[in-house]
Amino acid sequence: MKIVSYASDRGPRAGIVDDGTVRDAGPSILDAEPGDVVGALDDVQLLAPVVDRPKIVCVGLNYRKHAEEGGQPIPPNPILFAKFPNAIVGPGEPILVPPITRQVDYEAELGVVIGRRTAAVEQRDALDHVLGYTCINDVSARDLQFGDRQWVRGKALDTFCPIGPWIVTTDEIADPQTLGIRCIVNGDKLQDSTTADMIFGVAEIVSFVSQAITLDPGDVIATGTPEGVGFARTPPVYLHPGDVVSVDIDEIGTLTNPVASR
């Protein structure tokens, strides 16, 4: 099942994609049930498919080849940082580049949406707590990230966490560690990998996070990015106003956002 959030005259609503249409599914993605047809998918304004103000837990350096391209050692445990709800935008919404950065980078990531309260869960049970999967672009201001010597400011700028276009529920994805993942900028494929290259898989990440941070329904985990990011290229490739960037993941879909000036 594909669960969306869409704009309506009643405010944001949950919906379910059904054969090219969107059916209303109530006020929340967490208990979505298909109802009346709202309209054709192409005619409905999709929003980021998340609950109001979720926690956004991110994992850094979680693909082997990405760690290697940055000259970083393989971490012994997941490296966690946070983004905040101000960073969330949905499909088609612009990534806004503020004047305080000149090195805005793309990062295609598999997003994990939590389905029920999760605290100190064992790895073997962790996937039972997942509602589904989505695409995330962990947009990063590298000059701020590296200049600050910690990651939060450079990662949590307004609009720097596009999410979407929908959540694909776990019953449709047999194994989250077998998904092709790509990032395309202006038609050029700059990242092309698979979630099999993750150092820590989804179940291990959910368990690890939950030992320290209770995850609530609707919280989101961004599971890291593969090799091919802009700062590691020669010469570096950064996002600029006028660019269009897409995250494409097998069995989920494509999240596309334009880039504009703030």
DSSP string, 153-179: HHH-STT-EEEEEEEEEGGG-S-TTS-
Tens digits of per-residue pLDDT, 94-147? 999 999 999 999 999 999 999 999 999 999 999 999 999 999 999 999 999 999
Which two three-digit tokens encode residue 73? 């050692």
Residue 63 shares a structural domain with residue 186: yes
Can you give the pLDDT at residue 23?
Answer: 97
Question: Is there a single domain that holds both residue 210 and residue 84?
Answer: yes
Tens of pLDDT along 145-169?
Answer: 999 988 999 999 999 999 999 999 9
Looking at the structure, tell me whether residues 70 and 56 fall in a common domain. yes
Q: What is the pLDDT of residue 228?
A: 98
* Mean per-residue pLDDT over the chain, rounded: 97
Question: Could you read off the pLDDT of 233-260 as tens digits, one per residue?
Answer: 999 999 999 999 999 999 999 999 999 9
Q: What is the pLDDT of residue 77?
A: 97
Cα 218 to Cα 25, 31, 48, 104: the distances in Å are: 16, 11, 12, 27
Calculate what percentage of the chain has a pLDDT beyond 70. 100
Give the per-residue pLDDT at 211.
98
Percent of the chain with pLDDT over 90: 97
Instruction: Provide the whole-model pTM.
Output: 0.97
Residue 186 shares a structural domain with residue 223: yes
- Residues 94, 17 share a domain: no
221 lies in the same domain as 239: yes
Last residue of a domain, one of 47, 62, 85: 47
Both 204 and 241 in one domain: the answer is yes
Shared domain check, 71 and 39: no
Contacts of 37 (CB under 8 A, 6+ apart): 18, 21, 22, 23, 24
Q: What is the pLDDT of residue 73?
A: 95
> Are residues 40 and 128 located together in one domain of the fold?
no
Do 141 and 42 fall within a single domain?
Answer: no
CATH code for the domain in which residue 163 is found: 3.90.850.10
Q: What mean pLDDT is predicted for residues 217-246?
A: 98
Number of structural domains (the chain) is 2
Q: Judge contact between 221 and 114, C-beta under 8 A.
A: yes
Do both 84 and 203 map to the same domain? yes
Asked whether the beta carbons of 171 and 96 are under 8 A apart, the reply is no
CATH code of residue 23: 2.30.30
What letter does residue 92 receive in the DSSP assignment?
Answer: T
Domain that holds residue 237: 50-261
Q: Do residues 179 and 191 both lie within one domain?
A: yes
